Structure 1
């Protein structure tokens, strides 16, 4: 795996775990595109809508003194300049993990300057942890 990607992914995950919208938005491409599936409903969105969603999630975490349990399931090099990270994420409130998690398939691209940005996501939201504990 590209060492620069490992460094970038740690920075990205730190921004997420710290609920830092200021830091996270610098790591997302303005051309970002995503698809989220929640309860069978499909929602396609881009950069601005993504930032709005992150802001809501981060505010909820801060208001509830919650932390993020983010797990790296797999890293897959797709092309010379693209890598996918498969992540699971759930909130931990007062020491208790929520009963559901979101599964993220996130594609990152390395640009000419050598910096990485999140360019695409496919998200399965609200997956029950009861049946998926071995995976998450």
Structure 2
């Protein structure tokens, strides 16, 4: 894996864990496209909706003194300038992990002068923690 990408990914995860909306905004491409599946419903969205979603999630975390529990499931090079990272994300509230998580399939691209940016996401929301723990790749 590209050492510059590892540094970028670490910054991305720090921004997420610290609920830093300003930093997260800088790491997402303005051409960002995403799809989220929640309770069987499909939601497609772009950059602005993504920022609104991060803002709501970060506000909830801050108001409830919650911690983000993030786990890198896989890092998959797609092309020389694109890498997919699969991340499971949940929250710890009052010392206890909530009973579900989201599974993020996030594609990052190395932009010419801006460095790495997140350009695409596919998100499965509300997966039981048991199912997340049992992820296996064959």
Determine if the TM-score, normalized by the shorter chain, exceeds 0.5.
Answer: yes
- Residue 14 of structure 1 corresponds to 14
Matched residue, 1:130: 130
Tell me which residue corresponds to 1:120.
120
CA contact (8 A) 2:88 2:132 kept: no
Deviation at 1:114, TM superposition (A): 6.1
The Cα shift of 1:133 comes to 2.4
Structure 1 position 95, deviation (Å): 1.0
Aligned residues: 136
Distance, in Å, in 2 between the alignment partners of 1:16 and 1:72 is 13
**Paired position in structure 2 for 1:87:** 87
Aligned to 1:27: 27
Q: Structure 1 unaligned runs (5+)?
A: none
CA RMSD of aligned residues (A): 1.3
Q: Point out the structure with the larger helix share.
A: 2
Task: Please name the residue that 2:5 is paired with.
Answer: 5
Match of 2:106 in 1: 106
Partners of 1:101 and 1:24 lie apart in 2 by 20
Match of 2:37 in 1: 37
Distance in 1 between residues matched to 2:131 and 2:117, nearest whole Å: 32
- What is residue 73 of structure 2 aligned with on the other side? 73
Query: Scaled by the length of structure 2, what TM-score is found?
Result: 0.95
List gaps (5 residues or longer) in structure 2: none
Secondary structure of the 2:113 match is: coil
SS state at 2:7 partner: helix
Q: Which runs of 4+ in 1 moved over 3 A?
A: none
Q: Is the 8 A contact 2:70 2:89 kept in 1?
A: yes
Verify: 1:53 aligned to 2:70, yes or no. no
Deviation at 1:132, TM superposition (A): 3.2
